[in-house]
Structure 1
Amino acid sequence: MTTNAELAARFEEFADLLEADDVEYKPRAYRRAAENIRSYPSPIADRIEAGDRDAIENIDGVGDAIASKIVEYVETGGIEELEDLRADLPIDIADITRIEGVGPKTAGKLYRELGVQSLDDLEDAAEAGEIRDVKGFGPKTEENIRDNLEFARTVGQRQLLGEARPLADDVLAFLESLDDVDRCEVAGSIRRWRETIGDVDVLAATEDRESVVDRFVAWDSVDDEIESGPEKASVRVGESRVDLRVVVPEEFGSALQYFTGSKDHNVALRNYAIDRGMKLNEYGAFDVSEVAAAETGQRVGDRVAGETEAGMYEALGLPWIPPELREDRGEIDAAESGDLPDLITREDVRGDLHTHTEWSDGNTTIEAMVEAAADRGYDYFGIADHAEGPGIVGDMGLTDTEILEQVQEIHAVGEEAEIEVLAGIEANVDAAGEIDLSEAVIEALDVVVASTHSALGQDAETATDRLVHAIENPAIDVLGHPSGRLLNERSGLELDATALGAAAAEHDTALEVNSDPRRLDLWGSAVQAAREAGAPIAINTDAHQPSTLEYMRWGVHTARRGWAEPDDVINTWELPTLREFLH
């Protein structure tokens, strides 16, 4: 099955290769199309197979030419024009551009000057001192490339949560449709909502395991069978590997706990069990207090739990621990003492404070974004388009005059809207931690989000000092995507989340969990450290069109990985309380 993420990746590659070939204008059109394809609410391949080409051409940014390429890829598995581009520029463009500071244009230049096609070629050229001699580069760029090679090699092996989880939901829907399946659930890192995923792990309970395996392998969405047996199977769906394991119903809970992980959590939980005369494994919880030390086996002792996952924890005298917390970061001690957090849910979120429109790099109007927010049941909604500044390309950033003009339009839309509309801006935190907004603009705005878009190669101490300085600025309400990372693309700033949290707590500045699945910045452990330091948190989507308001799902689960409760998050607050916080 061709997934939307797979289609989007092809058009992102198109854009990169065109940019590497010094083609103007077209790359931006392809990137816009890719973003809208990725976030399209239903499988595009299904629409094509149903003969509904009009629906494809109605996707924002997808005209007749791009629609033809989408159809060609779905029907043939390739795009002839893309193949021609690859032949002209035989570059592993996705791998090479994961190096911080190496974009498509740089990759194209290194290919033309040094014949660099792959990360191995890039490493050879850097080690030989050849890159510094290319015009526009130098020793510092060469050193940066060497330092980032390991990151570029490792990140490409994992898939974004936002790409893998929708596929997992499709797998669950298929399994739930089978009469033989009693229960099913995702497992592994995807159930813990980690930001990147290796494989999609799924568990099913059934009395007829071989039948379920056979029907899973024969599922219409499966492109290739990797392996299968009487109790498990692995298949390829699009570019993703899906691993199914089937168990008998009475062992579903223990298997779910075991295969959810994490490994560190399971080891700590097993040790906790041993201290209490218990044994845990994928088959159940067993009382081994009366078992001789010489006895071995997976099912030794009296089985006291295993049918449900909650029962596995109850057998140890513990409450059920949410999967997001299972990283061995104190969750077992918290469960034992009754101090597990009451984690935030999507239903707790009252609004979104960081979104974009066509005024900067968004894809639609203020009215359309506000209407979509109202449809989600929000109480309030913030528009925060880009201000001009470092890291903002071309004319995407607004001048002070344009910001004031937009504020007037936001207020006009707000007068007609069903919800409260907040006028905001996404300012740019420069290398020294400053933002460039006039006092008149700051006075006119309801919310100022300030984010890093440049100087992302700073060391941890410099980066932390820079961000703390920004937090101390009374004009800034929210520090947006603090590290500036892009998952599987760039590592972003190293930072001390505890120091940021302490500064944020002192100066009433919220630290953002940016819900874009390419960012998820801050991440779980950083949210936990910041929260423990007393920092307020904001969960925002950074949405550029109505459909990407759904990104809130990823942000909420990321905040849950950081132990966040509703009161920790400013956009769960009622509007008067939020306005007071926003000065």
Structure 2
Amino acid sequence: MATNAEIAARFEEFADLLEADDVEYKPRAYRRAAENIRAHPSPIADRVEAGDREVVENIDGVGDAISSKIVEYVETGKIEELEELRAELPIDIADITRIEGVGPKTAGTLYRELGVQTLDDLEDAAEAGEVRDVKGFGPKTEENILENLEFARTVGQRQLLGEARPLADDVLAFLESIDAVERCEVAGSIRRWRETIGDVDVLAATDAGEAVIERFVDWDSVDDEIESGPEKASVRVGEIRVDLRVVVPAEFGAALQYFTGSKDHNVSLRNYAIDRGMKLNEYGAFDVSDIDDPDSGQRVGERVAGETEAGMYEALGLPWMPPELREDRGEIAAAENGELPTLVTRDDIRGDCHTHTEWSDGNNTIAEMVAAAAERGYDYFGIADHADGPGVVGGMGLSDTEILEQVEAIREVGAAAEIEVFAGIEANVDADGEIGLSDEVIEALDVIVASPHSALDQDAETATERLINAVENPSIDVLGHPSGRLLNQRSGLDYDISAVANAAAEHDTALEVNSDPRRLDLWGSAVQAALEEGAPIAINTDSHQPSTLEYMRWGVHTARRGWTEPDDVINAWELERLREFLH
């Protein structure tokens, strides 16, 4: 059954191919529809198959033409008009546009001029020196293509956390409905909340393993059974592979610890256990201090833990470690010394300082966004639409005059709101680290988020200097999505996070964890490096509609991967403290 993400991907491809074909206006409509489809709170395919076409027609940005295409895809697995467009432009558009600086229009030009359809074609053309001869290109573009080919080939093999985790939640709900299942949980990278995952790993504790496997492969949501046996099964749901493993309840905790990983964490933990006469594996924790050959079997020695995951750590004298920390970045030593962080949770978040409205590229009014924030129980909320500048999609940025007009509109909504409303802007960090706002605009605003949107192919030294210039600007409160990356699409800026964080700490500028599942920027290790330099963190959603305020889930877990505590996060602070920070 098609997921919302899968349906959205078809319309994103539609938009890219139309843009590659130099069609105007339509691509933006398709991208807006795709964004709203992806963020829709319920499975659209389920509603279509139940005969409820009205839900499709009521999606923002979806008119009759797009609505009929959604229904066509759900019912037939394809969209005839998209198939025709693919035949006219036989380009692997998703792969080629993962090259930094190569957008749909560029891909279309390369196809028309050089016949480039695939990454292999592009590599051949670049290595032959043919790309530089195409009008509007040149040696630098050609060099950039060659440097980014490896990235483009590898990133598409993994699913976004924001697309895979909702499916994982559905799998858990299905397994929990089976009487024979005593416990179940996700494992692997998805339980550690990595930004991309290979597949969905799930564990179930049961004494009726074969029966549970049989129920699982017969689940209505399964599109294809890959393989199955008495202890595990693999299926495909939409475009995502789901692997289920069943274990007896007495070994569930051991299996959960083992299959959650990471590999590096498990290796270090096993070595820690060996030093203490213990042995850890997927079946339990065993005391092998009196065993001559502890490697002679998996269950050799006295089993002292395994039913619960916490028990596996307790057997070593360690506290349970949140899965987000299990990357072998010092968590075992911190646990041994009683220094594990008290990680931030969604309940700690008091507001959001980076959201968009229909004034720029959002879908809703200021009042609608503020009302949605109040419904979430926030204390404060910041509107930060795009300022005009390089890299803003579709010329949707606001001029200084329009920013001042919006500030008045925000003040009017804020005066009647139940929560504090900040008038903000998302300024553009240009190639030199400047933001291009007038003094009058800066004075009128409560919060300035400044983000890079262009020149994302700079070398590391130049990019680092650029971002340091930005965070040293006393007008900037938050450096938004610092790398500018888009997961599975572009790598973004390569820069020295420690140097930027050190400057941010010195100048009281927060570094953003952008919660959009296509960004998650900063990411876990970068957050940890930033905190080590003393930089404050902001966890914002970059929402363009009320439903995507739920993206905070992804941002919080990403921040937790960086060892973030509540006091590190400016939007977990009380209102008065945040006001003071915002100058």
Pairing of 1:109-508 with structure 2 (within 5 A): 109-293=109-293, 296-508=296-508
State how far apart, in whole Å, the 2-side matches of 1:555 and 1:135 are. Answer: 41
Return 175-184 or 385-394, whichever deviates more: 385-394
State how far apart, in whole Å, the 1-side matches of 2:395 and 2:470 are. Answer: 24
Using the aligned pairs only, state the percent identity. Answer: 84
Q: 1:229-260: per-residue Cα shift (whole Å, max 9, x none)? A: 00000001000000000000000000000000
Q: 1:373-414: per-residue Cα shift (whole Å, max 9, x none)? A: 001000000000000111124431111110000000000000
1:498 is displaced (CA, Å) by 1.1
Amino acid at match of 2:228: S
1:293 is displaced (CA, Å) by 2.6
State how far apart, in whole Å, the 1-side matches of 2:100 and 2:238 are. Answer: 28
Pairing of 1:518-533 with structure 2 (within 5 A): 518-533=518-533
User: Conserved in 1, the CA contact under 8 Å of 2:161 and 2:195?
Assistant: yes
* 1:14 and 2:37 aligned: no
State how far apart, in whole Å, the 2-side matches of 1:400 and 1:132 are. Answer: 38
Amino acid at match of 2:497: A
Pairing of 1:29-40 with structure 2 (within 5 A): 29-40=29-40
State how far apart, in whole Å, the 1-side matches of 2:270 and 2:142 are. Answer: 47
State how far apart, in whole Å, the 1-side matches of 2:472 and 2:23 are. Answer: 43
Partner of 1:90: 90
Helix, strand or coil: the match of 2:202? strand
1:7 is displaced (CA, Å) by 0.1
Q: Which ranges in structure 2 are unaligned for 5 or more consecutive residues? A: none
1:9 is displaced (CA, Å) by 0.3
Amino acid at match of 2:410: I
Name the Cα RMSD after superposition: 0.7
Helix, strand or coil: the match of 2:243? strand
User: Conserved in 1, the CA contact under 8 Å of 2:199 and 2:242?
Assistant: yes
State how far apart, in whole Å, the 1-side matches of 2:115 and 2:462 are. Answer: 36
Q: 1:493-519: per-residue Cα shift (whole Å, max 9, x none)? A: 011111111111110000000000000
User: Conserved in 1, the CA contact under 8 Å of 2:502 and 2:535?
Assistant: yes
State how far apart, in whole Å, the 2-side matches of 1:293 and 1:266 are. Answer: 21
Distance 1:64 1:339, change over 3 A: same
Helix, strand or coil: the match of 1:241? strand
1:461 is displaced (CA, Å) by 1.3
Q: 1:171-207: per-residue Cα shift (whole Å, max 9, x none)? A: 0000000001000000000000000010000000000
State how far apart, in whole Å, the 1-side matches of 2:393 and 2:171 are. Answer: 40
Pairing of 1:563-578 with structure 2 (within 5 A): 563-578=563-578
> Scaled by the length of structure 1, what TM-score is found?
0.99
State how far apart, in whole Å, the 2-side matches of 1:501 and 1:138 are. Answer: 35
State how far apart, in whole Å, the 1-side matches of 2:394 and 2:216 are. Answer: 49
1:121 is displaced (CA, Å) by 0.5
State how far apart, in whole Å, the 1-side matches of 2:111 and 2:508 are. Answer: 49
Amino acid at match of 2:402: E
Amino acid at match of 2:232: K
State how far apart, in whole Å, the 2-side matches of 1:270 and 1:450 are. Answer: 44
State how far apart, in whole Å, the 1-side matches of 2:295 and 2:539 are. Answer: 51
State how far apart, in whole Å, the 1-side matches of 2:285 and 2:170 are. Answer: 31
User: Conserved in 1, the CA contact under 8 Å of 2:161 and 2:196?
Assistant: yes
Helix, strand or coil: the match of 2:226? strand
Partner of 1:75: 75
User: Conserved in 1, the CA contact under 8 Å of 2:294 and 2:301?
Assistant: no
1:294 is displaced (CA, Å) by 6.7
State how far apart, in whole Å, the 1-side matches of 2:108 and 2:201 are. Answer: 38
Equivalent residues, number: 583
State how far apart, in whole Å, the 2-side matches of 1:253 and 1:294 are. Answer: 21
Helix, strand or coil: the match of 2:491? coil
State how far apart, in whole Å, the 2-side matches of 1:581 and 1:201 are. Answer: 42
Helix, strand or coil: the match of 1:353? strand
Amino acid at match of 2:551: Y
Helix, strand or coil: the match of 1:547? helix
State how far apart, in whole Å, the 2-side matches of 1:393 and 1:148 are. Answer: 22
State how far apart, in whole Å, the 2-side matches of 1:293 and 1:11 are. Answer: 59
Helix, strand or coil: the match of 1:298? coil
User: Conserved in 1, the CA contact under 8 Å of 2:2 and 2:238?
Assistant: yes
State how far apart, in whole Å, the 1-side matches of 2:225 and 2:327 are. Answer: 32
Structure 1 segments (4+ residues) deviating >3 Å: none
Amino acid at match of 1:252: F
Partner of 2:47: 47
Q: Which ranges in structure 1 are unaligned for 5 or more consecutive residues? A: none
1:370 is displaced (CA, Å) by 0.3
User: Conserved in 1, the CA contact under 8 Å of 2:288 and 2:294?
Assistant: no
Q: 1:432-482: per-residue Cα shift (whole Å, max 9, x none)? A: 111111111111100000000111111111111110111110000000000
Q: 1:542-575: per-residue Cα shift (whole Å, max 9, x none)? A: 0000000000000000000000000000000000
Distance 1:295 1:75, change over 3 A: closer
State how far apart, in whole Å, the 2-side matches of 1:329 and 1:317 are. Answer: 19
* 1:58 and 2:35 aligned: no
Amino acid at match of 1:51: G
State how far apart, in whole Å, the 1-side matches of 2:546 and 2:437 are. Answer: 28
1:429 is displaced (CA, Å) by 0.6
* 1:582 and 2:582 aligned: yes
1:295 is displaced (CA, Å) by 5.7
State how far apart, in whole Å, the 1-side matches of 2:466 and 2:127 are. Answer: 32
1:55 is displaced (CA, Å) by 1.2
Helix, strand or coil: the match of 2:233? strand
State how far apart, in whole Å, the 2-side matches of 1:395 and 1:72 are. Answer: 32
User: Conserved in 1, the CA contact under 8 Å of 2:379 and 2:419?
Assistant: yes
